Each structure stands twice: as structure tokens, then as C-alpha cells.
Chain A
Amino acid sequence: MNTNPNVMNNKCVFTVFLLVFCCQLMSCQTEKREIISDVYQEVIEEFINNQISDLRQIKNSPPNPPGGEKSSSKIDIKKSNVLKPLAIIINTELFEPRLQINRDSILPEFSFIAKNNPIDHDLLEVDTLKIQKKVGHQIFFQKNFSELSETEKTLEEKAFVVHGTLNLGKIIFNTEKDLAYMEGGYRISKLNGIGFSIFLEKKNGTWKIIKITTTSVS
């Protein structure tokens, strides 16, 4: 064992350095994670609570085409497959934003979305249990839809059993970290869904969606 005081000093210095470095890094990561998590939390909750059509609430059938008369026997929507357990699949492999937004739909303060790059991160950092408790639906987080098991794939393609799939993209923040933009989509089958752009603002420490624009239909 080297007892030279100089060497001891150096070791001590190195250890302190490492400690300081790690603390700084962790604090930074925590801050970043919290911000990201808060944004996704808001988006997921908003979608499940307010954006997704809960077809159980439908009381009447859609109008019939010209010449078609409504049947006297009403369909009981509540018994149809539409009402299989309401559950959501959410991807965790976040896609890059396409930025194919109609320029007219961009709020002026969000011009940063053309300048800043999205943040690279993992959706698993979101507190999924917290969301699940809040919204009361079953949520499956999947890394990549192409990696779904065959059974899950069938469920997804057939729709209704799993209510739908929420697909989320990476977030772009402004420099002040009080505005955020992301893209996403929700589908109930391979050819039935929408794509959207979401604009968020942080007010009083809480992220709130201020605008959602539908950008595509499938």
C-alpha cells in the first residue's frame, strides 16, 4: 500500500472529482427525465380521458345512406365487440417527428420546432402505473409494434379487443423549456386511425396541451 501523502492526495482528489461529476450528471438527468415524463403524462392522460372516442357512450347509430331505412330492432352497441376491454397499447420506441405540418396551423411562438432537434429518450421513464390508476384503463407499453407477439398482432389488427394503439413521437422543446411540440397517432386498426400534432405549454409548473391538430387519417 502506497502511503506517500502526495499519492494519497491525488486519490482523494480523484474520488471527490468523481463524486462531483456523478452528482452533476444525475441531477441533470433527473431534471431532463422529469420534464419529459411530465409531458408524456399529460399527453397520454389527455388522450385517454378526452380524445379517444369511447364508443360505449354512443346512444344512436349513425344515419343511413340515401334510400336506406333504419331497422326497427336497435343494435345493442354495448354487446358488440366494440366493448371488449378498453385497453391501450402505447409504443415506447418513439418515432422522429415528420414536421409535415401545414404552416398555417403552427402557432407563431412554436416556430422553434423547425430549429430544435427532438430529444432522444425512452418512454419507459414515464410513470405508467400512475397513469393507469388515473385513467382506469389497461395500458400495455410495447417497445416496437413490429415486435408484438403473433397473438397481440392479431388482436391489434382485428381491433376492438384492444381498443386502440397510441403511437407517440419524440418531443421538441423550446430553449426556455416551457413550450413543447410532439407528434403522434391513434389507431383502432391498421387502416383506421388519425395522426396529430400536439402543442403544449408549461404554466404554473404543469404541462398543458394547448392545441391538437389532426394531420392525417388512415
Chain B
Amino acid sequence: MKILQFFPAFQTLRQLLILFFISSMISSCSKEEFYEDEISVIPQTAIEAKSKKILINDIDNPILKQVLNGIKTGQLNRGYSDSTIIEIEDQFATYIESKDGNYHSYTFYVTNTPKDEGLENVLFSLNRSGGYDVFLVRYDVTEADIDALAHGETNTSDWKPNYYLLDQDLNVVDPIAFISKENACVHVAVNYLCKFGNHPGGMLNGEPCPGYQMVIMVSYNDCGGGSSSGGEDSGGDPIGGEDSGGIEWDNTPGGGGPYIPDPEQVITEPLVCRGNCVENPWMSEFETQLNTANLLSCWNNFDTAQQGVVEEFIVSDYGSEASMDFALEGVSAICSNGEVDWKNKIIKDPSFIDTKAECVLDELISTGNNLFKETTDQFTENNSKFKLKFAVGTTTQGGSAQTSSPDNNGIVTITFNPNDLNANSLHIASTILHESIHAELKRIVATNNQGSNPLPTAYYNYLYQLHQYWTDNSAPNFVWSHTEHNYMATQHVIPIANSVRQFDENTHPLENYMEFAWSGLYLEGLLGNPPVVTEAQQTEYANLALIPLNDEHQSQCDE
């Protein structure tokens, strides 16, 4: 220190170094400056599969149905417990399908699991040979956990399933294959009536069909470990009269314990039923989805009537994936102060509420505007997986409005540019109609012209021809825009003009509304041969539109 005091230059040097360091710290191109803070992260699912609840009557799978019938007429016994014959709730199941469609499974709820013995499901898991491996799946969880699951209030991702394989040859249609002796080292026995009686040919394994109730109870111990509560036959069975264990196909090292399937090949999720599951098996699943989307607490604040409307919506469509997705979006909108028109299946984003566009939309709906009804009816039918959502916000092209492609939940969003919402309601009405037609055309293409009111074949082919034409004559990203606008220019101008006129209570002749209908379509109209519209008509229509725009007749939305 003394040296520094004697040599001021040293002090200066020290100060310089410190200042240099500080300035570097302050002004360097730090990551924080360039990339700022993190915002939300899109959740990723570990397994690319989607599940839904289904009623047994909806299962279109003869093998599975036969096996289920077998279970109903026969019985499943637990092998790991003294107790009881397993009873499953066979009226509904959770159906899980992998994203690539190559795998699916059905999970059924076991209704009579003894209290405090966890949760049990029976799982039918598609195997590589096209049949099903059947497992009893046990979760060692508490009654409180199970109750929470029933109300969608718990995350089950850390619930570890224990699999007890029943048989791996269920691709054989005859459900007797359940009890193939070769697969004897299983932890659940099957108690089954040979429905064919003691007939020639006998059982699949060549042994005579006993013609009476047959029980196989397999010892846990015989699989090389674990505790056993079975280990003895529970009924005079000529085949299973003794433990047939010892065949090791338990894949755990050293044997014993539950069979652990390859998680890549077996996908299930815990299923529980409380209350009116059979009448409406989907609400617990819906509540699980709400929980995942962090909407459960908001949902619990809905009054009974509000929840009833949503439940009715889901039940009326038999808990289809589309109804679940829409209901989830709907609840999300309501929780964010948006609104849902459940009858017309339209979601109103909070940004849309109390805007002039909402007023015009409500008027189009309440007056049963022909074109709007015809167009949006296609979205409201139960089978359509596409639904409409209206919002106000940035339009990426800066136009008056835009229609999105369907999102992962099948929601097509029509967004209005807030800068254009001061326009006359006739403009807004035509914009809503224009965008709704875009949405409908997207639905038609996505569904390959399915729905209650498909395009006549000739017009669907025309749409296809237009697409071919614009593929050859425009940049790839503009093909659909030109195709749709071209189709609308030749097919929808008069209907839109009529609808806007209807919205204006038929105050003026049709010509006065043509400008609204042509909005956004002139380019493709001019390109036709012959042109669908001329430049002279364009000017004329613009002038004629001034009459309804400036007359005294006003929509309530303009007041």
C-alpha cells in the first residue's frame, strides 16, 4: 500500500484496471442482453400417444370383443392374492393409440380390488403378432390417491405400474387360449368355463376340453421368487390341478416379481371409476386433462349449471376426442374471461368480447343468416373435429382478418385486426363471412370432402383443379391462398353479397352489396377467362357500396 501511495501512477493503473473490468462487465454482449429472459416452455409428452375413454359398444374389434365376452362369462382370478375373482368394469375402457397408429391398448377398471390394496386395471396391449397381451396392472397407491385420480386432481406420472401377464397369445380368437399351459408362469389365473364342452378336438393345446369349470392358479414362488398367495388349485381342474410353474419368462433378473414389459411396447394409464362412470365415463378423463392444463381449480369454481353444460356437451358426442378438445379450449376461454357458444360450438377469445366484431357475429347468429349458418353448420356437427374460435389481435399479414390452419386441437382461429374494427358493420359482416368460408374450405380439404353437406363432386374436383393450377402458377406458400380465393371468386360472391344484404335487412338491391363480397377476391376474379369481374365493375361496385354505407339504416352494432 505504501508503494502505491508513493507512486500515484500505480494507483491510476489499479483504478484503470478496475474500471476496465467493470465496464467490460456492464457493456459486454451478454447472453441476457441478447436473449432476455425465458418465457413459458411448451410441455412435451414423453410418449407420443393419445388416450380417450370409449364405451365398449364403440370397440370395433372382434378379437377383443370375444375375449371380453370370455371374461364376462368366465372369470379372472388374482394369482397374487388369496382373494377373489377379478371383476372388471367392462362397459368402458381407456383406449390409447400411438401417434403413428401402429400401437394401441385398452385399459379396463377392476371394480372389486380389496380396500387398501391399491388400484388394479386390466390391460389389453397390442402385440407384434397383431393379438393382445393381457396384463393385470397394479398400482400400489393409497385410497386417497385413487380418489384424487377419480376427480382428476392428481398427476399419475410417478405411479409405477406392476404388470402381471396373463397370456401372450391372445391373437387366437378362441378365448380359451387365455389358459395356455405353456405360459403358466403367470400371476393371475383364469377361471374359465370351456364353452365348447368336451367336444372332439379338445382344447388348443391338444388336451381334451374338460367341459366344466377350469381353474389355473399359478404359484408366484414357482416363477423363481416373490411371495405367493396362490400356489394351489382352487378347483378341480385336470390341467391346472398342479402348479405348472418353473417356466421362466419373467424378464426380471433372477426371476420373480412382476413381469415388466418393455415400456416402449406397452402403454397404459391408470383408470378409476367413481360414481356414474358407465353413464359418463369421460368426465374423469376430462378433469385429468383440465388438471394437466392447469385449469382444474378454475373448473372447480364453475357452478353446477356451468359444469352441466360442458358435461352435456361432452356426453352428447360420446366423449369424442373432438368434443374433449373443444371443451378444454372452451373452459380455457371461460377461465380467461372469454365466452363459449356451446350450441353453435364457437369459442370467443377474451380479446373478442365486447368488440364490434362480436356484436356483428352475434347478429349473424341470432338472425340465422343463411350463408353463415350454412358455412358454420359444418363445424357444429358432432362428427367434425374442427371448431371455430374468434379472436382479436395481430394479423401476421397485417390484413383485416386471418384464418389459421387447424391447430393440434382442431381449432380454426379467425383473428380480427383491431385497427380495422372501427369499420362499418357491413364490412365486418363480409369479413366474418369471408373468413368463415376459408375455414370451411380448410375443413373440406382436411376431411376429404366429408361432412353432412359435402361439395358436389364436380365442385370438389373443380377445387382440386384450381389447386393444381395454382401449384403450377404460384409460389408454394401461396397455392392455397390463391386456390381458396379463386374458388370463392367464382362460387361465393353472390352468396356473400346476399348475406350482407340480409344482414342489412335487405335495404338495397344486391348490386349495392357486391363490393363487400368482392373484397379480397378481385385479383383472382380479374384473372379468369372470361374474367369473373372487370375493372369497370370493380369501380362501379365500389361506388354502389357507398349507398348502404352512408344511408340512415344502421345495424345496432354501428350505433
Contact = CB atoms under 8 A, between A and B. Distances in A.
Interface of A: 5-6, 9, 12-13, 16-17, 20-21, 24-25, 27-28, 31-32, 50-53, 55, 57-58, 60-66, 68, 70-71, 73-75, 77, 80-82, 91, 95-96, 98, 100, 102-104, 111, 114-117, 119, 145-146, 159-160, 165, 167, 169, 173, 175, 177, 183-196, 212, 214-218
B521 A192 contact: yes
A32 B29 contact: yes
A169 B396 contact: yes
B526 A80 contact: yes
Prevailing SS type, chain A contact patch = mixed
B526 A81 contact: yes
Contacts of A103: 42, 408
A51 to B, nearest CB: 5
B19 A13 contact: yes
A216 B477 CA distance: 10
A217 B480 contact: yes
Contacts of A32: 29, 34
A214 B394 contact: no
Interface in B21-35: 23-24, 26-29, 31, 33-35
Interface in B511-559: 519-524, 526-531, 535
Contacts of B39: 114-117
A111 B11 contact: no
A71 B530 contact: yes
A116 B35 contact: yes
A82 B398 CA distance: 21
B523 A82 contact: yes
A217 B27 contact: no
Residue among B29, B407, B490 with max Cβ neighbours from chain A (10 Å): B29
Given A185-B398, A216-B396, 14 more contacts: A17-B19, A58-B527, A63-B469, A73-B530, A75-B528, A159-B523, A167-B396, A169-B396, A173-B34, A187-B397, A189-B522, A191-B401, A192-B481, A194-B478
B16 interface: yes
Interface string B390-417: 0001111111111111111000010100
A62 B526 CA distance: 10
A53 B520 CA distance: 16
B27 A194 contact: no
Interface stretch (B157-165, B222-230, B458-466): B458-466
Nearest to B491: A65
A82 B35 contact: no
A20 B397 contact: no
B469 A215 contact: no
Interface of B: 8, 11-12, 15-16, 19-20, 23-24, 26-29, 31, 33-42, 393-408, 413, 415, 419-420, 431, 434-435, 438, 458-459, 461-462, 465-466, 469-470, 473-475, 477-478, 480-482, 484-486, 490-491, 519-524, 526-531, 535
Nearest to A5: B8
Residue among B31, B36, B431, B475 with max Cβ neighbours from chain A (10 Å): B475
A186 B28 CA distance: 37
Nearest to B38: A115
B515 to A, nearest CB: 11
Residue among A75, A160, A183 with max Cβ neighbours from chain B (10 Å): A75
17 contacts: A6-B8, A17-B20, A24-B26, A27-B29, A51-B477, A55-B527, A61-B528, A66-B462, A91-B398, A100-B407, A102-B408, A114-B42, A116-B38, A190-B399, A195-B404, A216-B415, A217-B480
B529 A61 contact: yes
Nearest to A169: B396
Given A190-B420, A190-B519, A193-B397, A53 B8 contact: no
Contact of A194 (B12, B397, B490): B397
B478 A61 contact: no
Smallest CB-CB A-B distances: 9 pairs: A185-B397, A191-B520, A195-B396, A61-B529, A24-B27, A53-B474, A193-B397, A185-B396, A71-B530
Contact of B403 (A9, A189, A196, A216): A216
B548 to A, nearest CB: 18
B23 A71 contact: no
Contacts of B524: 62
Nearest to B23: A21
Given A28-B27, A66-B462, A196-B477, A61 B527 contact: yes
Nearest to A17: B19
